[in-house]
Amino acid sequence: MSGNNTYHDFIKKFLSNIDDDIQNSKLAIFVGSGISACSGYPTWSSVIKEFAEPLGMSKDYELKERDYLEIPDKFFYKFKNFEY
């Protein structure tokens, strides 16, 4: 039973600390991109694929890990003098 009480004490203290941080404007919440995708916003992959098309890449192009940084960078340097 003491293990169960320790867990409950920990949770109570944890929630109390969160409440204190909220009251003192010191709480930051980090969430992944899935939260925005569930809200109807595009995923980073779909945005990257839109950037890739004007660079001459196929819409069916299979993204590689490095593409998530390289494609936006190439897009910026190609179109930096235009509104996008």
Q: pLDDT for 22-54, tens place per residue?
A: 999 999 888 776 777 788 888 888 899 999 999
Q: How distant, in Å, are the alpha carbons of 20, 33, 44, 48, 78 from that of 82?
A: 47, 28, 22, 18, 9
- Percent of the residues in the chain that have a pLDDT greater than 90, as a whole number: 56
Grade residue 4 by pLDDT with cuts at 50, 70 and 90: confident
Kindly tell me if the per-residue pLDDT of 1 is higher than 60.
no
Domain boundaries along the sequence of the chain: 1-29, 31-84
User: What's the whole-model pTM score?
Assistant: 0.54
50, 63 contact by CB (below 8 A): no
